[in-house]
Chain A
Amino acid sequence: MAAEVHALDFVLVVLLLWLGWRALASADLFKAVVQFIVFGLLVSLAWVRLGAPDVALAEAAIGAGLAGALLLDTLARLGRKGATDEVRPLGLTPARAGIALASLGLVILLVASVLALPESWPGLTAPALQQLGASGVTNPVTATLLNYRGYDTLLEIGVLLLAVLGVWILDAEAALPAAPADPMLSLLLRVLLPLTVAAAGYLLWVGAHAPGGAFQGAALLAAGGVLWHLARPLSLPASRPVRAAVVLGFAVFLGVGVATAVFGGGFLTFPPAYAGAVILLIEAAAMVSIAVIMVALFVGRPAQGTK
Chain B
Amino acid sequence: MPEWMTVALWIAAAVVLATIALGLVRVERGPSNGDRMLAAQLLGTGAVAVLLLLARAADAPALLDVALVLALLASVAGAVFVRRLGVQPVQRGQDRTAEDGP
List A contacts of B51 (CB < 8 A). Answer: 45, 48
B99 and A81 contact, CB distance less than 8 A: yes
Nearest residue, chain A, Cβ from B61: A210
A8 and B13 contact, CB distance less than 8 A: yes
A34 and B66 contact, CB distance less than 8 A: no
Least Cβ distance of A236 to chain B in Å?
Answer: 17
Is A289 interfacial (CB 8 A cutoff)? no
List A contacts of B98 (CB < 8 A). Answer: 86-87
C-beta contact mask, A34-50 vs B, less than 8 Å → 1, else 0? Answer: 11011001101100110
Chain B interface residues toward A at CB < 8 A: 10-11, 13-14, 17-18, 21, 24, 27-28, 30, 33, 36-37, 39-40, 43-44, 47, 50-51, 54, 57-58, 60, 62-63, 65-66, 68-70, 72-77, 79-81, 83-85, 94-102
Nearest residue, chain B, Cβ from A82: B100
Determine the distance from Cα of A213 to Cα of B51 in the docked complex, in whole angstroms: 20
Given contacts A37-B40, A57-B66, A64-B74, whether A179 and B83 have CB atoms under 8 Å apart is yes
Count A-B contacts at CB 8 Å: 165
Determine the distance from Cα of A214 to Cα of B1 in the docked complex, in whole angstroms: 34
Determine the distance from Cα of A115 to Cα of B13 in the docked complex, in whole angstroms: 29
Given contacts A11-B14, A57-B65, whether A84 and B99 have CB atoms under 8 Å apart is yes
Could you pull out 6 A-B pairs where Cβ atoms are within 8 angstroms? A2-B58, A15-B17, A30-B36, A192-B75, A212-B65, A230-B83
A7 and B66 contact, CB distance less than 8 A: no
Number of residues of chain A lying within 8 A (CB) of chain B: 63
Complex interface: stretch among A154-162, A219-227, A261-269: A219-227
B43 and A216 contact, CB distance less than 8 A: no
List A contacts of B74 (CB < 8 A). Answer: 64
Given contacts A76-B85, A199-B72, whether A48 and B95 have CB atoms under 8 Å apart is no
Within 8 A of B (CB), among A79-103: 81, 84-87
Given contacts A15-B24, A68-B77, whether A28 and B97 have CB atoms under 8 Å apart is yes
Nearest residue, chain B, Cβ from A86: B101
